[in-house]
Chain A
Amino acid sequence: MQKSLGLSIFVSLLPAIALFATFLAFPFATILVTSFFEWNASGLTFNGGANYLELWDSRSFKSALQNTAIWVGAAVLIHVPLAVVLAMILSRRVKGWKVFRTLFFLPNIVSYSALAIVFLGFYNARYGALNMLLEDIGLGHLQQDWLFQYNTALYALIATWIFHVGLYMIIVMAEIASIPEDIYEAAVIEGASDVQQDWFITLPLLRNVIGTCMILTVTQSLIYFEGIFLTTKGGPANASLNMSMATYRAFERFDWGEANAIGMHIVLFGVIAIVLIRHIFRIGERYFD
């Protein structure tokens, strides 16, 4: 009886195991193993850790690391906090909150390929709307080739994405809606102001969902690609190069072993980030335990 139960559990899990092995375990193992090989048109040649050593010695990889760190920093310090603040404001059902909720969410359902083309035009040095606007308001001296100037490229790209906070805003709003109303009623009886309610009740109760949003935004920032690929391609002079774009560049050079070594860095940083965030936000722990 016991044996046949075990067998039936195994058989029922088999499709899931097969899918996991085919689409997750096998590709991951391939990336890991081939990151220790020179992999190009001539085939696979084991080269130990040469791909990793070359990367750590490479100027462009250092730029990619630094830019990725800035991007992740912006996600953690601006992207998610902005989403939380907006969610807390809109959850108070301010006038027109449904319209604002829709407006903030809309960019999340527009293809980034389309948005990238729009931003290429918006930032264009010759006819871009931003430069025209600056000219019109008397700030013509600030006009730039925003996407192709070393000092502005990365920040111009971050700006195209950082305000698309609709997804996290919706998630946080859903969590706020699940907070029992009687907690706020008790606080009001005790004389707590709106700000005190937000600070001492809402925010602490959002710890789990904020942590989850942090994990999502950090992992997405680590693999962010299309906006950079469609605009600056990591230039000028690696000013906007991140790790995903560096992976693509290695892939383009037919240096697949190095591409996979960069990929392994992304995986490693992703795992570290997830562990750290889970620890900091004590994700999974109930607030009232």
Chain B
Amino acid sequence: MHKFLGPIMAGAVCALLATPAAAQETQINWATFWVGTNPLRPWGEALLDGYNAEHAGRYQIETEEIPGDKAYRDKMRADAVADALPDLITGNTALMKDLRDSGRVVNLMPYLEADPEWRDSFFDNAFDTYLTDGGELYALPYSRDYIGIFYNKAMFEQAGIEEFPRTWDAFFEACGTLSAAGFIPMATEGDWTTRLMWANMIGTQPGGAEWLSTAGGSGELELVGNAPVVAGTEMLRRMHEEGCTNEDAFTGQYATGATLFLQAEAAMIANGPWMIPNIKGVNTETAEGLGEDVDYAVSPGTEEGRGLIVVTGEAGFAIGAKDQDKIDGSVAFLKYLTSDEQMLNQAMMVSRFGPTRMQLTDEQRGQLEPMLLDIVAESEDVSFVYPHTNITMPTAIIQEFINSWPAYARGQIDTETFLEILEDAQ
């Protein structure tokens, strides 16, 4: 028996060695905050399942879940400093700029150049937000946001206002009328929604849209004596002086303004289309019938026309992988992410469009939120298109705006001092 055992085992080993090795699956690590109650979670799960199924046996993405976008940002910054970034990173413009400065993310432009069909599927200027002066692309946008003003038609009707104001004069008149009717005209909190109105008020001034669109590159921003910024900032203060906003408009907490609008206490709020599911009552307690009462409008403007915040790439993906195989797998993920199928999924699940020229069939249009389609249609009819302040201004200015805005709005400092404080914060 023993004399057969040796040859049998040797044969078995030879057979194993002779078997062709199965292609090894490359593991890709995606650090994500699209978890828990984050509205992007369902789309993230769909992306992950779809990609892993499509690339089974070749690439496999595993997620590292980090709840909370701030905790995520801090972790990614620390990883960048330690040269230990995950293979795939997602985040907003500020985080992507930090990653660019770290020099530890992959330049995506060669991959786009190598696949002209993929590159040409994006809108013109879609890459501007993430393009360096040297033409390197440090992150790929996955969103194109049309950010308007939600308004409660029922409140407008009760106050006797027939249409959403088209000019700033009409806007302030409407504020007075709504106030007299017992409504809070505009919900704000001193941070995000206030700064959206600030962008609208700057962007619809002569030269304002151009400044917001181009000033956010490198170098320090000039705010003092900058005509559209001065005019827009003073108009924003007027909104407070004339009682257009809620009394507790300085908390800096998004919930302050959002709750007022969702409970039908305030007639307007500036925000992106991702608020639509909340307005429709998804995972949110809202006033009865709010979903039917709300409509979405572009910003009032001047005699020259109205304005709209359009941002391509407020959010993007970067690749931190070093190994070429992992980079290739991550690029494949970005192609999958920006495919028509997934861009449509994003629009349906998150009420957010992508940066690609997606052709929608009538059936697909029927699946999308009408307010989202309306604002895109209205974007053709505006004279001024500009990004919001997160794109144009560095974190330090935004931080200082939140800090100093209450004192300025209450008239405790003048416009020049306020803008000087913001300028100095850079």
Residues A236 and B250 in contact in the complex (CB < 8 Å), given A43-B81, A249-B399, A253-B399:
yes
**B412 contacts A237, C-beta separation under 8 Å:** yes
Residue B132, interface by CB 8 Å: no
CA distance A235 to B194 in the complex (A): 16
User: Is A79 interfacial (CB 8 A cutoff)?
Assistant: no
Taking a contact as CB atoms under 8 Å apart, the answer to whether B251 and A120 are in contact is yes
The answer to whether A41 and B101 have CB atoms under 8 Å apart is: yes
Residue contact B103 to A235, C-beta cutoff 8 Å: no
Please provide the chain A residues from 46 to 64 with a CB less than 8 Å away from any CB of chain B in the complex: 59-60
The smallest beta-carbon distance between B195 and chain A, in angstroms, is 14
Q: Mark A72-109, 1 if CB is under 8 A from B, else 0.
A: 00000000000000000000000000000000000000
- Please tell me the size bucket of the interface on B: 20 to 34
Query: Which residues from B are CB-within-8-Å of A43?
Result: 81, 102
A239 vs B412: C-alpha distance in the bound complex, in angstroms? 13
Evaluate contact between A235 and B396: CB separation under 8 angstroms. no
Would B396 and A253 count as touching, CB distance under 8 A?
yes
Q: Which residue of B lies closest to A127 (CB)?
A: B248
* A234→B405 CA distance, assembly (Å): 12
B50 contacts across to A, CB distance below 8 A? none
What is the number of contacts between chain A and chain B, taking CB atoms within 8 Å? 82
Closest to A153 in B: B406
Residues of the A chain whose Cβ atoms lie less than 8 Å from the Cβ of B396: 253
Judged by DSSP, the binding face of B is: helix
Task: Give the chain B neighbours of A59 by CB distance below 8 A.
Answer: 421, 424
Contact across chains for B102 and A233 when beta carbons are under 8 A apart: no
A150 at the interface (CB under 8 A from B): yes
List residues of chain B with CB within 8 A of the CB of A120.
251, 253
Task: Give the contacting residue for B77; candidates A147, A236, A254; CB below 8 A.
Answer: A254
Q: Once the chains bind, are A148 and B251 in contact (CB under 8 Å)? A: yes
Given A126-B247, A252-B399, A41:B406 Cβ within 8 A: no
A227 → B minimal CB distance (Å) = 15
Given known A-B contacts A126-B247, A148-B251, A42 and B103 have beta carbons under 8 A apart:
yes
* CB <8 Å contact, A41 and B404: no
Is B252 on the interface with A (CB-CB < 8 A)?
A: yes
A41 touches B81 (CB 8 A): yes
Residue ID in chain B nearest A234 by CB atoms = B403
Q: Known contacts A41-B77, A41-B80, A41-B98: does B246 contact A150 (CB below 8 Å)?
A: no
Which A residues, 222 to 280, have Cβ-Cβ distances below 8 Å to chain B?
232-239, 241, 249, 252-254
Residue of A41, A125, A233, A253 touching B403 (CB-CB under 8 A): A233
* Cβ of A149 to closest chain B Cβ, rounded Å: 8
A160 proximal to B (CB < 8 A): no
B34, chain A: closest CB distance, angstroms: 22
Is A135 an interface position by the 8 A CB rule?
Answer: no
How far, in Å, is A155 (CB) from chain B's closest CB? 16
Q: Which residues of chain A are within 8 angstroms of B248 by Cβ–Cβ distance?
A: 124-127, 145, 148
Residue of A nearest to B99 (CB): A41
Q: Is the CB of A150 within 8 A of B403?
A: no
**CB of A113 within 8 Å of the partner chain:** no
Write out, one digit per residue, whether chain B residues 365-393 have a CB within 8 A of any chain A CB (1) or not (0).
00000000000000000000000000000
Q: 5 shortest A-B CB distances, which residue pairs?
A: A236-B406, A41-B101, A237-B407, A148-B250, A41-B102
28 A-B pairs in the complex with CB atoms less than 8 angstroms apart: A39-B81, A41-B77, A42-B101, A120-B253, A124-B251, A125-B247, A145-B248, A148-B190, A148-B248, A148-B251, A149-B410, A150-B410, A150-B412, A233-B252, A235-B250, A235-B402, A235-B403, A236-B250, A236-B404, A236-B406, A237-B403, A237-B407, A238-B404, A239-B407, A253-B395, A253-B396, A254-B77, A254-B98
